[in-house]
Amino acid sequence: MIRPLRVGVDAGSTTWKAVAIDGEGRIVAAMLLRSEPRVEEQSERALAEMLGPLVPEAPPRVAATGYGRRRVPGAVARPTEIAAHAFGAAWLAPDASLVLDVGGQDAKAIRLGPGGRAAEFAMNDRCAAGTGRFLENTLSRLGIPWDAVDDMVRGAPRAAQISSTCAVFAETEIVGLIADGAPVPDVVRGLVESLADRLAALIAQVHPGGAIVATGGVARCRPLLAAVAARTGQTVRPAPEPQLVGALGAALLAGP
Partner 1 sequence: MGLLRRIRHEAEARLVGPAIAGLNAARRLRRLEAKAPRPPLGPPLRNGVRLRAIVERYYFAGRTADGARPVAWVTSGAPVEVLRPLGYYVVYPENHAAVCGAMRTARDLCEAAERAGHSRDLCSYARTDIGALLAGRTPVGRLPKPDLLVCCTNICQTVAGWYRTLARETGARLVFVDTPFLQGDLLPHHTAYVRRQVETLAAEAERVAGRELRMPDLERSLRSAQDAAFLWGECLATARARPAPWVGIEAFFHMAPIVVLRGLDEAQAYYRDLLGELRERSAAGVAGIEGERVRLVWDNLPIWSELRRLGDLLAARRANLVAATYTHAWSECADLFSAGDPFDAIAATYTSVLLNRDLAHRARGLADLARRYGAHGVLFHSDRSCKPYSLGQHGLRDLLAREHGIPGVVVEADHSDPRSVAWEAAAGRIEAFIEGLG
Partner 2 sequence: MEARSAEGVPVGAAVAALPVEHPREFATALGRITREIWGPPGLPQQRGRAWLPSFACPMTRNALEMLLRGDVAASAALLVVPHTCDSMQALASQVMDLGAGGIPAVTFYHPRTLDAGARASFLRDELRRFRTEMERLLGPVADDRLAKAVAIHREADVLAARLLREGPRAGLPQTEQYAVLRARERLAVEEWLALMRDALDRRVEPRPRGAPIVLSGIVPEPPGLLDAIAASGMRVGFDDTACVGRRIPRDRLPEPTGDPMEDIARRYEALPPCPTRTVDPTTRLDWVVAGARAAGVRGALFVVPARCEPELFDLAAVRGALRTAGVPSVVVETDFEAALPASIATRIEALGEMIGARSP
If one asks whether residue 165 binds partner 1 (CB under 8 A), the answer comes out as yes
- Helix 81-92 with 245-252: angle, nearest 10 deg: 90
Stretch that binds partner 1, among 13-21, 34-42, 149-157, 167-175 (CB under 8 A): 167-175
Task: Find the binder of partner 2 among 19, 20, 29, 83 (CB under 8 A).
Answer: 83
Distance CA 92, CA 182 (A): 41
3-state SS assignment for residue 19: strand
Nearer to partner 2, 106 or 186 (CB): 106
Exposure string for 189-228, b = 16+ CB within 10 A, e = fewer: bbbbbbbbbbbbebbeebebeeebbbbbbbbbbbbbbbbb
Angstrom CA distances, 137 to 43, 104, 232, stand at 27, 10, 26
Stretch that binds partner 1, among 5-13, 41-49, 110-118, 164-172 (CB under 8 A): 164-172
Task: Find the binder of partner 2 among 27, 31, 54, 123 (CB under 8 A).
Answer: 123
If one asks whether residue 22 binds partner 1 (CB under 8 A), the answer comes out as no
Task: Find the binder of partner 1 among 57, 117, 148, 163 (CB under 8 A).
Answer: 163
If one asks whether residue 152 binds partner 1 (CB under 8 A), the answer comes out as no
What is the signed CA dihedral for 38, 39, 41, 43, rounded to 10 degrees? Answer: 160
Distance CA 102, CA 90 (A): 17
Phi/psi for 12 (5° steps) reads: -85, 175
If one asks whether residue 47 binds partner 2 (CB under 8 A), the answer comes out as no
Binding-site string for partner 2 from residue 184 to residue 213, where x marks contact by CB under 8 A and - marks none: -----------------------x------
166 interacts with, out of partner 2, partner 1, none, CB within 5 to 8 A per kind: partner 1
Helix residue ranges per DSSP H, the chain: 39-51, 81-92, 132-142, 146-155, 167-179, 184-204, 222-232, 245-252
Query: Cβ 205 to partner 1, closest distance in Å?
Result: 6
Nearer to partner 2, 115 or 157 (CB): 115
If one asks whether residue 176 binds partner 1 (CB under 8 A), the answer comes out as yes
Contact criterion met (CB below 8 Å) for 225 and 237:
yes
Q: Interface residues with partner 1 (CB under 8 A)?
A: 163-166, 169, 172-173, 176, 197, 200-201, 204-205
State the residues that interact with partner 2 by CB under 8 A.
Answer: 67, 77, 79-84, 87, 106, 113, 117-121, 123, 125-126, 207, 253
